[in-house]
Copies of this chain bind each other. A is one copy, B any other.
Amino acid sequence: MKKPNARQPKTGGPTQKGQCAKRVSILDAAADVFCREGFAGASIDEIAMEACVSRQTVYNHYREKETLFMAVVQDIMDRANAALFSILATFPDNGENLEDDLTAFAVRLNKNCVCNHDGKFIRKLVQTEGERYPHLFEIWRQQGPGKIGTALSALFARLSHVARLDIDDFDLAAKQFLALVNADLPASGFFGGAPTDEELEKAARAAVRTFLRAYGGKPATGAGQELREEPV
């Protein structure tokens, strides 16, 4: 009955979809609730309540539950990507202090991309809903581990020129580095609270040490590998 290009009703939803307070408030609340309850378990009413907003406002901004869900995912992805590039941009160019540089890098990566709220959220969501939305799984694989992997791979390729690194397969080394960095974290990045700074630092140091024992052509300080222990 109603023509698709009918005149907008005098009263109703917002006209410009830019960032306003209500909009981000809804997005944040939705992220929380979706993460806690999953897609099926999350109720719009709960999201609205947590956002201190009426249900109708939620529907005004996001046409239906699935629209809201996808908006949440996109938002998280964008944030995580920004964080990743910001970290990569600050890696020192020279190959001196490789162990310390890698450790600091690993700490920042975990702290701002992998173990933080966004990282845990997106992984949980992909595992929960990835089968229902293959699109979601694919996006995550490309923009998440894929992007980190290739960036890290390129980093190692660059480093292997300045520092002495004995790597024959950069992609593999990148994956192994990431795996090692997360090996010693409590609950392996699952929920249960973010790891403390000490835990992050300790895990990163252990990972980098093993990584360099495997791939580092020459030990940084000389002979053995049990020499540098002090700076904790």
Alpha-carbon gap, A124 to B215, bound state (A):
33
What residue of chain B has the Cβ atom nearest to residue A168's Cβ? B226
Contact for A191 among B131, B180, B192, B213, CB less than 8 A: B131
Q: Does A110 interact with chain B (Cβ within 8 Å)?
A: no
Assembled-state Cα–Cα distance A124/B39 (Å) = 14
Are A190 and B127 interface neighbours, CB within 8 A? yes
Q: What is the copy number of this chain in the assembly?
A: 2
A37 to B38, CA, bound (A): 9
Smallest beta-carbon distance A120→chain B, Å = 9
Candidates B39, B40, B166, B176; contact of A180 at CB < 8 Å: B176
What is the distance, in angstroms, from A140's C-beta to the closest C-beta of chain B? 10
One digit per residue, 1 when the CB lies within 8 angstroms of any chain B CB and 0 when it does not, for chain A 70-109 equals 0000000000000000000000000000000000000000
Return the contact of A190 from the options B126, B178, B182, B184 (Cβ within 8 A).
B126
Task: Kindly state the separation between the CA atoms of A31 and B128 in the bound complex, as whole angstroms.
Answer: 14
In the bound complex, residues from chain B placing their C-beta under 8 Å from that of A226 are 168
Convert A113-129 into 0s and 1s, putting 1 for each residue whose CB lies closer than 8 angstroms to a CB of B: 00000000001101110
CA distance A215 to B211 in the complex (A): 10
| Interface pair A128/B128, CB less than 8 Å apart | yes
